[in-house]
Amino acid sequence: MTNELSIALLQHVPAPDNIAAAVERLESNAATAAAQNCSLLVVPEASITGYNIPLETMQKVALPADGETTEKISAICRQHNIAIAYGFAERDGSNYFNCVQLIDKTGTPLGKYRKTHLWGDLDRTLFTAGDNLAPLINIEGWKVGLLICYDIEFPECARRLALEGADLILTPTGLMQPWREVAERVVPTRAYENQLYIAYANYCGSEAELNYEGRSCIVDPNGEDLARAAQETTLLTATLTRTAIDEARAALPYHRDRRPELYSALGQ
């Protein structure tokens, strides 16, 4: 178990329907992040395949969770001694899922999560909703949770991970205009009220008719930005400390002072 965890977060312009270019981009940024002593790299929602794409393109580019592309990403993890959380469109039988998978520095897939809260017609036209929230994953002794984009806007998702002991929530996203408030207000609030770190990796630029907000961020347990992007391609880095989590929870004992018997019906 380590007191510190250095992470990197990539904000980039989408390159839909170009998996080879996406993997090359991932390898280049993994090398850069590793050179800065980062243990984990996070990239946006559906970064490998593209997000806002036609159904016929989805049918062509969607990937199994354990196929050739996963093997290539595992090799990148081993080569650069870094864990990677990457978004992709997952093919499972006749269904497509908006998925994030986390592979550790040895190249071992540790877990995946399928987006449970679908956003509007865009998601519902392409994807099947996941039915389960992912279990926490151990990275360098840190308990890491996974959500995708719209999921973080539901406070129950982050709270459930916090109550299970999460130190950090990774949130690959595709936040588009005009919803900047999610990146600038909602994400810091989720970190503050749950007293944990959130890494929120968004796109910049455009994809078809969507213009993305950028504003990717790494937020601490006090809701303060450790790193914040504007609207250009960038690689953010930050060092997280367990001390900051402990101090936040000691100062404001939200977890201890909850009274779930009063609001358990909210889960119905």
pLDDT digits (tens, 9 = 90+) for 45-102: 999 999 999 999 999 999 999 999 999 999 999 999 999 999 999 999 999 999 999 9
At 129 the pLDDT is 98
Q: Give yes or no for residue 110 having a pLDDT over 70.
A: yes
Catalytic sites, residue numbers: 45, 115, 149
Cα separation, 58 vs 56, in Å, equals 5
Tens digits of per-residue pLDDT, 133-175?
A: 889 999 999 999 999 999 999 999 999 999 999 999 999 999 9
Q: Please state at what angle helix 155-163 crosses helix 187-194, rounded to 10 degrees.
A: 30
Tens digits of per-residue pLDDT, 191-213?
A: 999 999 999 999 999 999 999 99
**Count of alpha carbons within 13 angstroms of residue 48, beta-carbon side:** 26
pTM, entire model: 0.96
Average pLDDT over residues 26-35: 98
Domain boundaries, the chain: 4-267
Share of the chain above pLDDT 90, in %: 95
| Whether CATH 3.30.1330.80 fits 4-267 | no
Strand segments (E) across 93-209: 95-103, 109-114, 137-139, 142-146, 168-172, 197-201, 206-207
